[in-house]
């Protein structure tokens, strides 16, 4: 049974497992667990083995503005998508960063180890 | 479960953000509240003015900016870089102050160079202006056309021919030599023998036969004496010119001897020429006689030729 549970848990992490991120100004973002794993901090927060409350509900509250969280999720998806492809095919993410949010995003990125 | 992140393939979000911020560092108002190690790469690329400004708005980074100022000093001033290589003592307390001191020195040197350049330029300009064409209302100082006070007398024909002959002999470039046509005989008024002590040449007319085969011997030291010749009015009349290097056929040698006075011979010897001259006149073959024009003046202006061509010697 435990093996089944473990198996069920492992299959559920593959594609259908979603993590909810809530920004401090009330925006909610849903990202796949796989994507969230690209962030070291998030990974720890929603990891099944951890004791954090977030792990049970798969929900994280992020102490940042919605724009920041959105950009963060965007980056995590980008990274997840291209992390295994050869360098020539990776598009540039720099252009998608607006200078106005650069500093805040920098702080968030550092915190979430993105 | 998580696959290994390939190292260095995708830049981290931290790095990307730092790069964007560096590109727009002038728009950053403050960096206070941020960890210094995050901000440092951004500040490394900014100018001195920006760094100063950010220090004012973000006082918490001030203690950490020493290295940044040092970098600025070394970058902007070559001399400081050289000095620091050999500098053994303790580092300056405040690199920031050092930087601004260096800036002052650089500014001073720059000013010096500028002023020096300005003076050099001005001098060059002045020199140039002197040689330029200037517009003016005044007349330039009149040249002395003639020495003032010298009495003007028209040069007589004699004087003119004399000076001409001298010029020709000396080979003065541009002495006008008009090849004379073989006009019929024309006797010039008798020209007395003139011997002027002028170096190696005696004043004389050097006759230029028109179209003759002989080039005028301008450069030879031949002494040609002026003699009056009674030349018959025939194309064939006349004797060959009195030139030593002239090649004229069928002329009695005696005539030559008389006419072509050897250099050492004195002009008065030519006075005896009248006698052989008539002989010469008769023995000349019928050919276009260059001597027909022996006394034709070079210049029309000097010509006293009457309208008729039958001028003969009196």
A110 neighbourhood in chain B, CB within 8 Å = 14, 35, 38
**Cα angle B34, B36, B39; round to 5:** 75
pLDDT in the model for residue B261:
44
B248 and B240 in contact (C-beta within 8 Å)? yes
B88 and B60 in contact (C-beta within 8 Å)? no
Judge whether B253 is closer than 8 Å to chain A, CB to CB. Answer: no
The minimum CA-CA distance between A4 and chain B, rounded to whole Å, is: 17
The minimum CA-CA distance between A110 and chain B, rounded to whole Å, is: 6
Contact pairs from chain A to chain B, CB under 8 Å: 66
What CA–CA distance (Å, rounded) separates A94 from A104? Answer: 15
Closest-CA residue of chain B to A90: B10
What CA–CA distance (Å, rounded) separates B234 from B17? Answer: 117
pLDDT in the model for residue B217:
42
What CA–CA distance (Å, rounded) separates A58 from A36? Answer: 11
Neighbours of B6 (CB within 10 A): 13
Nearest to A82 among B10, B18, B31 (CB): B10
pLDDT in the model for residue B143:
74
| B212 burial level (CB within 10 Å; 0-12, 13-18, 19+) | buried
Residues 6+ apart with CB under 8 A from B243: B206, B207, B214, B216, B217, B222, B224, B260
Q: CA nearest B21: which of A97, A110, A13?
A: A97
Q: What is the pLDDT of residues A64-114, one digit of tens each?
A: 999 999 999 999 999 999 988 888 888 889 999 999 999 999 999 999 988
Weakest-pLDDT range from B20-24, B66-70, B137-141, B231-235: B231-235
Q: Find the chain A residues whose C-beta atoms sit closer than 8 A to any C-beta of B.
A: 10, 13, 37-38, 43, 72, 75, 78-79, 82-84, 87, 90, 93-94, 97, 99, 102-103, 105-107, 109-110, 114
Contact criterion met (CB < 8 Å) for A94 and B20 = yes
pLDDT surpasses 50 at B198: no
Q: What is the pLDDT of residues B102-115, one digit of tens each?
A: 888 888 989 999 99
Q: CA nearest A80: which of A72, A88, A64?
A: A72
Judge whether B117 is closer than 8 Å to chain A, CB to CB. Answer: no
Structure-token pair, residue B244: 């030593």
- Please report, for the domain that includes residue A41, its CATH number: 3.30.710.10
Contact criterion met (CB < 8 Å) for B34 and A106 = yes
Q: What is the pLDDT of residues B35-68, one digit of tens each?
A: 998 999 999 888 888 988 998 899 888 888 888 8
Contact criterion met (CB < 8 Å) for A99 and B23 = yes
Domain count of the fold of chain A: 1
The minimum CA-CA distance between B36 and chain A, rounded to whole Å, is: 11
Weakest-pLDDT range from A55-59, A100-104, B110-114, B166-170: A55-59
A108 and A64 in contact (C-beta within 8 Å)? yes
Judge whether B2 is closer than 8 Å to chain A, CB to CB. Answer: yes
Neighbours of B98 (CB within 10 A): 19
Contact criterion met (CB < 8 Å) for A109 and B35 = no
- Could you list the residue range(s) of the whole structural domain that residue A28 is in? 2-111
């Amino acid at each position: 049974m435990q093996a089944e549970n473990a198996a069920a848990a492992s299959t559920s992490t593959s594609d259908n497992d979603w993590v909810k991120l809530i920004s401090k100004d009330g925006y909610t973002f849903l990202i796949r667990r796989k994507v969230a794993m690209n962030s070291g901090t998030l990974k720890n927060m929603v990891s099944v083995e951890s004791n954090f409350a977030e792990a049970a509900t798969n929900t994280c509250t992020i102490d940042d503005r919605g724009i920041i969280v959105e950009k963060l999720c965007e980056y995590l998806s980008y990274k997840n998508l291209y992390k295994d492809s050869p360098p020539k095919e990776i598009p540039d993410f720099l252009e998608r960063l607006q200078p106005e949010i650069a500093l805040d995003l920098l702080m968030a990125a550092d915190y979430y180890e993105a | 479960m998580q696959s290994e992140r390939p190292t260095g393939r995708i830049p981290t979000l931290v790095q990307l953000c730092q790069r964007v911020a560096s590109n727009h560092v002038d728009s950053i108002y403050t960096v206070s509240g941020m960890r210094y190690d995050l901000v440092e790469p951004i500040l490394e690329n900014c100018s001195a003015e920006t760094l100063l400004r950010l220090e004012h708005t973000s006082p918490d980074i001030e203690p950490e900016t020493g290295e940044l100022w040092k970098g600025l000093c070394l970058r902007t001033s070559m001399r400081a870089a050289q000095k620091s290589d050999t500098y053994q003592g303790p580092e300056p307390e405040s690199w920031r102050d050092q930087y601004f001191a260096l800036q002052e020195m650089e500014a001073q040197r720059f000013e010096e160079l500028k002023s020096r350049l300005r003076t050099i330029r001005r001098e060059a300009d002045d020199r140039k202006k002197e040689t330029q064409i200037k517009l003016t209302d005044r007349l330039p100082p009149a040249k002395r056309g003639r020495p003032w006070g010298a009495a003007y007398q028209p040069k007589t024909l004699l004087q003119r021919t004399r000076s001409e002959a001298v010029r020709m002999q000396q080979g003065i470039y541009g002495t006008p030599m008009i090849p004379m046509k073989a006009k019929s005989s024309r006797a010039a008024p008798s020209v007395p023998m003139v011997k002027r002590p002028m170096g190696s040449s005696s004043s004389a007319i050097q006759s230029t036969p028109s179209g003759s085969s002989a080039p005028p011997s301008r450069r030879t030291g031949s002494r040609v004496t002026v003699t009056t010749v009674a030349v018959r009015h025939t194309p064939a009349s006349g004797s060959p010119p009195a030139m030593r290097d002239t090649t004229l056929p069928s002329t009695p040698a005696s005539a030559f001897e008389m006419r072509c006075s050897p250099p050492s011979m004195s002009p008065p010897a030519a006075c005896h020429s009248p006698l052989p001259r008539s002989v010469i006149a008769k023995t000349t073959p019928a050919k276009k006689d260059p001597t027909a024009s022996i006394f034709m003046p070079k210049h029309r202006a000097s010509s006293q030729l009457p309208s008729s061509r039958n001028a003969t010697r009196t």
